[in-house]
Amino acid sequence: MTNSDLTQYLKRAFEYKAAGNFKQAIESLYKALEIEPESSEILSEIAGLYLELSNTEKAIRYYEQALLSEPSSIDIKFKLAKVYKQAGLITKALPLLRSICEEDLNATYIAEILNLLYLESDFEGVIEFYQKPLVNTSKNAKIHYYAGSSYLALGDNKTARELFQKSIQYDSSDYEIVYSCANLLYEEGNYKEAAETLLASPIAKTNHKTFYLLGEICIAQNNITEAINNYSKACKLNPRNALYYYSLATAYSLNGFFKEAEDNYHNAVKLSPNNLFYVYTLALVYYQTKQISKAKERINSILSINPHNENALVLKARIATDENDVVNAENILKDVLKKNPKNDYALYIRAQVFQKLGWWEKAIESINLAKKYKPDSMEYISEAVLYNFSAKNYSEAESLCKRLIELDERYIFAYIKLTEIYVAQRRFSEALENIEIILKYDINIPTAYIMKAKIYLANKLYEQAIEFARQAISLQPDNNEYYTFIADIYYENRQYKDALRYYKLSAEYDVSSAYIRYRAAKCSLALGNPRDAIADFSVAKRLDPYDMDLSMDYCNSLCDVHEYKSALEVLKQSLQYCDSEEKRQLILKKNAEINDILSKNMSGLQKFFGKFSKL
């Protein structure tokens, strides 16, 4: 074959390559190679075409042959090093790049060797190479970027940030650099600068990672609504990313949009069904929305895969606690804590189990352990406030409330509980000052007005107490406790008509309260309406069969209207629930009295009818 044939094959090869017909181009180059079998140019060209066809194995073989033909070629060395890198053969690529850089400290070659050293986690090697004068003065953005990434990996955030920012100065269009810098600023808490850095990139708004990071920044700043907007955009740009849906769902959940949260947790689970944490969060939102059967179904699916999954077990225990199955809950939590004594959430739920049982000291001990592992958890501290208040540990409860206010000066719960503590200790002036702080932050807090009412009531200022309680009702008209509060004031002041009206209103919102019905009955008695009283006594008795005072008052009312047999039936039922000998004797005595009355009545009737029998 002649040089003319060689030229013809090469010409055809380049025409095929230009048209994207890489296989035909390779065939033409093979023919050219028959004429010049040691041509590094032809061998290199064949390697490049195989690379276009994603055949890295053959690309490596022909680049290696090309390098054997021309061992001093920097271009072939560099191309071969890049293919080695693509194939994950870093240990083969590095020597080639080192030999290149010994001859030529070209910025492109430097950036590549720094990238390889970084991929090998040789962060010290990157930094050592970066110290060379011709390297750290380069205007190649990637050089400073890889050096910054290595400093970051070694924990030197300050130097990393400076080098990232230097990289952006040289190339603000490189999204990888811009994103890394913005992400570092976000992790350091420089949220505004992070967002500004990210959005300065000309291609930022076309990349899904932008909106995900903006969402994270908004979450960190407690701007949940904007976080939802950004996560939504990230999902639209990359609808196959489970993490994005999970984050969007979490943001919806934080904002109280549980239906939207449920839908997006479901999307995350659908995309990543083996991620048990995503399945757990879906179970959790089912629990939060009272879809208990669905929550249990998801929990069981997790435990069928991993019977020791702590998140699922603790949520199972939480549901058992809510269902008053405290023995089962305690057994689950004991097993979890035996394997992992530092599981703060298990300790938190265990405290709730103890609270259900009225074991305040144990509840406090458990929640204190949870706080030990998460000392700034406002949820745990709030729970500790409730337990200490119930146990009348007012000093500790007060201290915890003040800690909550340190963490969030607008945390209304802390001010409310602090007010309750002051009222319980009759520190009324401090309580009133605290109420004013609550109303400064939110004038529509009904609890503030009811606490104010309790303070005035404690000082026997009844009209003012009622007025503030009515303000509480206007803000929360379905709260039966507020109606009961007013009713009790009227009752204690013997204003039975007004008291009865408010007890009846309270009963509309709480049909399970024996106390309300009992008090309503006593009001009716005081107003001379025994039949109305008996109707309320009957309901109250059904709701609380153990209350002996209630039973005796009910019995006496029936006797007043001469319904002795019904009264005896009430006493008979009461005897079943009697928990002391003293009460038993009281019932038997009353029973004897009624039977005596019935006996006398019967005797009187017999005498009456006996007169007629003699006629």
Task: Quote the DSSP letter at residue 205.
Answer: G
CATH number at residue 39: 1.25.40.10
- How far CA 398 is from CA of 26, 163, 393, 403, in Å, comes to 82, 49, 9, 9
Residue 493 C-alpha from the chain's centroid: 48
Q: Which domain-ending residue is among 104, 136, 161?
A: 104
Instruction: For residue 578, tell me if it sits in a domain.
Output: yes
- Residue 514 CB partners (closer than 8 Å, separation 6+): 540, 541, 543, 544, 547, 550
Question: In the prediction, which pLDDT does 603 show?
Answer: 56
The pLDDT of residue 613 is: 47
- Residue 540 domain-assigned? no
Q: Which run of H or of E encompasses 152? A: helix 141-153
Contact status, residue 450 vs residue 472, Cβ threshold 8 Å:
yes
Q: In this predicted structure, what is the pLDDT of residue 491?
A: 95
Q: What is the mean pLDDT of each run of 10 residues along the chain (615 residues)?
A: 75 87 89 86 89 90 90 88 88 86 82 87 90 85 92 93 92 91 94 93 92 96 94 96 96 91 95 95 92 95 95 94 92 95 94 92 96 94 95 96 93 93 93 93 92 92 94 93 95 95 93 93 94 93 89 90 87 81 83 81 50 46
pTM: 0.67
Q: What six digits make up the tokens of 337?
A: 């804590």
Cα gap 359→351, rounded to integer Å? 9
Burial class for 294, CB neighbours closer than 10 Å (0-12, 13-18, 19+): middle
What would the two tokens of residue 182 be? 């913005």
In a domain, 74, yes or no: yes
pLDDT value of residue 532: 93
Domain boundary among 76, 104, 132: 104
Domain tally for the chain?
2
Burial 248-277 (b: 16+ CB within 10 A, else e): bbbbbbeeebbebbbebbebbbebbeeebe
> Which residues neighbour 15 within 8 Å (Cβ) at sequence distance 6 or greater?
none
Would 321 be classed as within a structural domain? no
Residues whose CB is less than 8 angstroms from the CB of residue 78 and which lie 6 or more positions away in sequence, other chains included? 96, 97, 100, 108, 109, 112
Which tokens go with 391?
Answer: 């146990």
Q: For residue 599, what are the domain limits?
A: 545-605
Where is the domain boundary, 104, 121, 155? 104
Kindly state whether residue 366 falls inside one of the protein's structural domains.
no
Q: Which residue, among 43, 60, 42, 64, has the nearest Cα to 51 in the 3D structure?
A: 60
Q: Give the Cα separation of 455 and 468 in Å (integer).
A: 10
The closest alpha carbon to 298, from 321, 317, 274, 281, belongs to 281
- Asked if the structure places residue 557 within a domain, the reply is yes
> What phi-psi label fits residue 377: left (phi over 0), alpha (psi between -120 and 50 degrees) or beta?
beta
> Which one, of 158, 21, 171, 34, lies nearest residue 107 by Cα?
171
Instruction: Spell out the long-range contacts of 442-448 with Cβ–Cβ below 8 A and sequence spacing 24 or more.
Output: 442/412, 444/475, 445/412, 445/416, 445/475, 446/471, 446/472, 446/473, 446/475, 446/476, 446/479, 446/482, 447/416, 447/472, 448/416, 448/419
3-class DSSP state for residue 242? helix
Contact predicate 352/321, CB 8 Å: yes
Which amino acid appears at position 243 of this protein? Answer: L
Tell me the residue type at 380.
Y
Q: How far apart are CA 246 and CA 224, in angstroms?
A: 14
**Four-residue CA torsion sign, 202, 205, 211, 212:** negative
- Domain assignment present for 568: yes
Residue 36 within any structural domain of the chain: yes
